[in-house]
Amino acid sequence: MGDEQRPFKGRGSSGNPANRYHAAAVEPVDDGWPADDPLPPLRTEVREERCRHIISRNQSPDVPFDRSINPYRGCEHGCIYCYARPTHAWLDLSPGLDFESRLSCKPDAAARLREELADPRYRCAPIALGVNTDAWQPVERERGITRAVLEVLAETRHPVTIVTKSALVERDLDLLQELARHNLVSVAFSITTLDSTLARRMEPRAAAPHRRLAALGRLSRAGIPTGVMLAPVIPFLNDAEIETLLAHCREAGAGHAGYVFVRLPREVAPLFEQWLDTHYPLKAKRILQRIRDSREGRLNQVAFGRRMRGEGHYADLIGRRFERARRRFGYSDPPQLDTSRFRPPLPTSGQMDLFSR
């Protein structure tokens, strides 16, 4: 088995395919020599990126926010299905192992946020924190960039929505409680399975399922509105767990729930196919065919209104099962956060406001 096919311990992808902007690609060739020697550990590298703006805007009609902040590019969690993998091509890096191990961080994120919120033209609306890559991935433990961003949001009483797979979010309980007191925060945990073996293979460096459930419960008991995202739902891998997951998360304190049907954009599709061949070869063909049946014969669908849910009999069945379980367990809609409490930050120039607050 060539190196491109041999999984690295603790990583989701088993190789580094060229990104779509490369004119040439290199493929390993089996030369007949045995390759049983263990692969060397893959170390995580982090480079600093100075940004002019930190708030990203979107006009997508099928996501519930129009602005977001991503303190990091790339994600150590290594989720093999991650739709953000192709964005590493913009850094001239691979969506494979590079995405998981060659990260980019934005140490001046809090300073840029303060400047943008102080702009007189800024109009407050909830910011989604870490929706492209997890804002509480392992590197955050050392860098603390996400906490610095939360501090600015708490200071300015700006509403924020959070989705994470990390139990590290518990570290920021004090800030989350402060935001919750003013109806300014909602935290959803992305939990795809309760099967620890599947989770370890599919999302190798994310918190274990039981830790995510425990963190959800702790935040809920602390008075923070919490929810669960079943993202993604994958045929014949975790689709049978929809009802069980919703039951356990509701018991832990989740108040709202959502789901996304698996989508495999650009370079994610071949990475996922290779992962299936490695870990679930007997199921691979069935899984991929069912995804295609729900994606107009493809592994991805880009049309608004269909890309998150799929279409066809199977996708409709998933939607009906989810909605029935959601009602059965008493989930409600996500909270409407308060935008009226926003107060722009004081200018860093030392110039006082004309009017006191």
Q: Does 10 reside within a domain?
A: yes
Total structural domains within the chain: 1
pTM exceeds cut of 0.95: no
2, pLDDT greater than 70: no
Contacts of 312 (CB under 8 A, 6+ apart): 293, 294
Q: Does 346 reside within a domain?
A: no
Instruction: Kindly indicate the confidence band of residue 94, based on its pLDDT and cuts at 50, 70 and 90.
Output: confident
Give percent above pLDDT 90 in the chain.
76
pLDDT digits (tens, 9 = 90+) for 214-240: 999 999 999 999 999 999 999 999 999
Lowest mean pLDDT among 34-38, 163-167, 253-257, 311-315: 34-38
Q: Does 8 reside within a domain?
A: yes
Q: How many CB atoms lie within 10 A of CB 270?
A: 15
β-sheet with 72-73: strand ranges across = 45-48, 102-105, 72-73
Q: Does 71 reside within a domain?
A: yes
Helix axes 268-279, 284-293, angle to 10 degrees: 150
- What CATH number did the domain enclosing 213 receive? 3.20.20.70
Residue 4's pLDDT is what?
45
Residue 27's pLDDT is what?
59
Distances from the Cα of 78 to the Cα of 31, 203, 348, angstroms: 29, 6, 38
Q: Does 349 reside within a domain?
A: no
Q: Does 333 reside within a domain?
A: no
Alpha-carbon distance 195 to 215, whole Å?
A: 17
154, pLDDT greater than 70: yes
Q: Does 357 reside within a domain?
A: no
Contacts of 247 (CB under 8 A, 6+ apart): 325, 329
β partners of residue 45: 102
Alpha-carbon distance 92 to 79, whole Å?
A: 20
pLDDT digits (tens, 9 = 90+) for 29-62: 555 555 555 555 678 999 999 989 999 999 888 8
Q: Which of 251, 223, 279 is nearest to 12 (CA)?
A: 279
Q: Which domain holds residue 160?
A: 3-21+47-234+241-260
